[in-house]
Amino acid sequence: MALLRMNAMRLRGAASLVASAALLSACVNGAVPVSGRAARPPPPRAAQPAPVPKASPASLALRAYYAGVQEELLSRGLMRTDSGAKDAPFTARMLANNFIRIAFFDEFDSTSGTLVARPTEKRLRRWQKPIRVGLTFGASVPVAKQPIERARVRSYLARLAALTGHSIQLASTGINFQLQFLDTDELRAIGPTVRKADPSIGAPELQSITNMSDSTYCQVTYSLDEGSSLIERAFAVIRAEHPDLLSLSCLHEEVAQGLGLPNDSPQARPSIFNDDQEFATLTPMDEAMLRMLYDKRLTPGMSITEARPIIDQIAAELVPGDS
């Protein structure tokens, strides 16, 4: 069964062609070089990157729109990258309560055959097998930008692995977590790829990817074994039209949620698991929730009632001195 997590930011309210230069060599009527040595052959031509396809009017419009979204969020003091420690301290009780809201509930319910925004209580879910992330860039992402994005993803996965104690890394084989950067035109055509990566994905979840609304900036779906509550596969997409900080925010939230923290809560602060978009990147509270999720004292399949005493204990250890 595929479970869906969508991250949406709502507000009111051309691709460049790569030019290459050709080196020309000339021979003047068979003249012999005056040095008495054989003329050097011309240097081999450097491989030229493939030109970026011309963006569609729809994609160009979204680039402008999302640039405006980021500008407005920043102008309102949102999309913060600090820890929030000065103005948003949290207690062990707050941490425990927020962990329950985010780890034990889904944001969307698809049991009716369509996605409905309705918190639905679930049992604790997480990965047991090593997570092997396959990173894919659509042709809309300039080749020159891809190494930077790849390094950013690799660094973030290493951070998540350190926090959880779970094996998480980029891979080219054995991929079970797909992470794709695609523009709106590439999203519409991604259906067969998603279906191949996760044959069990439901029709509502698949349609939510291929027909993402403009207010949905990125999302992750994951499939799990219902009997064990273990996550088996995940598929995350981030729009290629995003400016830098909005893209980074999507990366932080969607991958973290794909580890088993699928919900958002307006009470979670400081946290990226909150639709108010105050924080753009992982906060100390988020780090604590990831540590808690993969603590061996908690096991997949636990209910809230079963897990609550353990959660309170772990939270007290992570936030010492809280009364």
pLDDT tens digits in sequence order for the chain, 323 residues long: 444 444 444 343 333 323 333 332 333 333 333 333 344 455 556 555 556 668 899 999 999 999 999 999 999 999 999 999 999 999 999 999 999 999 999 877 666 566 666 678 999 999 999 999 999 999 999 999 999 999 999 999 999 999 999 999 999 999 999 999 999 999 999 999 999 888 888 888 898 899 999 999 999 999 999 999 999 999 999 999 999 999 999 999 999 999 999 999 999 999 999 999 999 999 999 999 999 999 999 999 999 999 999 999 999 999 987 65
Residue 30 located in a structural domain: no
Whole-angstrom Cα distance, residue 54 to residue 196? 27
Residue 37 located in a structural domain: no
Residue 111 located in a structural domain: yes
Whole-angstrom Cα distance, residue 270 to residue 292? 16
Please give the DSSP secondary-structure letter assigned to residue 143.
G
CATH number of the domain to which 141 belongs: 3.40.390.10
Query: What total number of domains does the chain contain?
Result: 1
**Cβ atoms of residues 243 and 187 within 8 Å:** no
Whole-structure pTM over 0.75, yes or no?
yes
Residue 45 located in a structural domain: no
Measured on CA atoms in the order 75, 249, 253, 185, is the torsion positive or negative? Answer: positive
Q: Considering only CA atoms, which of 140, 124, 126 is closest in space to residue 177?
A: 126
**Cβ atoms of residues 103 and 295 within 8 Å:** no
Residue 247 located in a structural domain: yes
Domain containing residue 287: 2-8+78-318
Residue 286 located in a structural domain: yes
Burial label for 246, CB within 10 Å (0-12, 13-18, 19+), is buried
Residue 197 located in a structural domain: yes
